Amino acid sequence: MAPNGGGAFSGRRNLPECPQSIGAMINGVHHLSLATADLDRFLQFYNGLLGLPILSRGRIEPGNAPFEAVVGLQGARGSVAHLHAGNVHIEVFNYENPTPLPGAAFRPCDVGIRHICFDVTDIFGEYLRLKAAGVTFLSEPQAMGDPATGDYGVKAVYCRDPDNNIVELQEILSGGVLDKSHVGGIVPAADAAGRL
């Protein structure tokens, strides 16, 4: 295995090599799912502002036993939509039954899935466009990377969607430690054998 670098990656542990057969059942990430209090408002943000195409929109009615079994919600009723985001789909539910608990503005450090990240080509332009549309940002776009080496291979910024979910915009810069195949995570460059 390649040795761990310092700076931003000093906390990464060396993991034992696994045979190729382990984990082979995972083909990749197909979709992520969010719940919203207002589907139209959600779609205005993700489709209207971010430009994600809507693939489908429909209803969930009670009595769909397979769906109720999968989600673990007896008598589930509401609306659903699917959006396309490059290499992944976003599924969004607006449940009418059972009545959902109100959303909370979790902090990035709170346990659980905390943000969704979109790869962009002009982060500052997107930041200015969305800010002008009233989107709340936690900061201006920042150069991210390893201060010890001066490798700032990505720019990133967090904002909030209408349901208080954290949305990250990131721009991967050429020559940095991030690779387009690892969009969404900080992954050090692999060695010649493809190992971290």
pLDDT in tens, 154-180: 999 999 999 999 999 999 987 665 655
Confidence class for position 21, pLDDT limits 50, 70, 90: low
Confidence class for position 183, pLDDT limits 50, 70, 90: very low
Domains with residue ranges and CATH for the chain: 25-182 (3.10.180.10)
Tokens of 48: 């209207």
- Residue 104's Cβ-count burial label (10 Å; 0-12, 13-18, 19+) is exposed
- Report the percentage of the chain scoring pLDDT > 70: 76
**pLDDT, average across residues 44-54:** 98
Q: Where are the beta strands (DSSP E) in the chain?
A: 31-35, 54-60, 77-85, 88-97, 115-119, 142-146, 151-160, 166-172
What per-residue confidence (pLDDT) applies to 11? 42
